Amino acid sequence: MKVKLKQLIDQSDFTRVEISKLANVSRQTIHAIETNKYCPSIQLALKISKILEIDVNKIFILEKADL
């Protein structure tokens, strides 16, 4: 899975700390998702998508190799 979270956060008005607080996770969790070291639950992925107001499919991209 390709994760574009880092780029999208950098383009947003939110800090990683703000996103982590709104999503009720640690900043380290956000960092782990950004670096593809942690695959978020569906619920967390949708929370992040809603916070950033970006379609979840534009943040988390399923690649052919993942199918």
For the stretch 12-59, pLDDT in tens is 999 999 999 999 999 999 999 999 999 999 999 999 999 999 999 999
Of 32, 43, 40, the residue nearest 60 (C-alpha): 40
The torsion defined by the Cα of 7, 8, 10 and 13, in degrees rounded to 10, comes to 180
CATH code of domain 2-66: 1.10.260.40
Q: Which residue has the tokens 């107001």?
A: 53
Q: Which amino acid is at 15?
A: T
Which stretch of DSSP H or E encloses residue 3? strand 2-3
pLDDT on residue 64: 86
pTM: 0.92
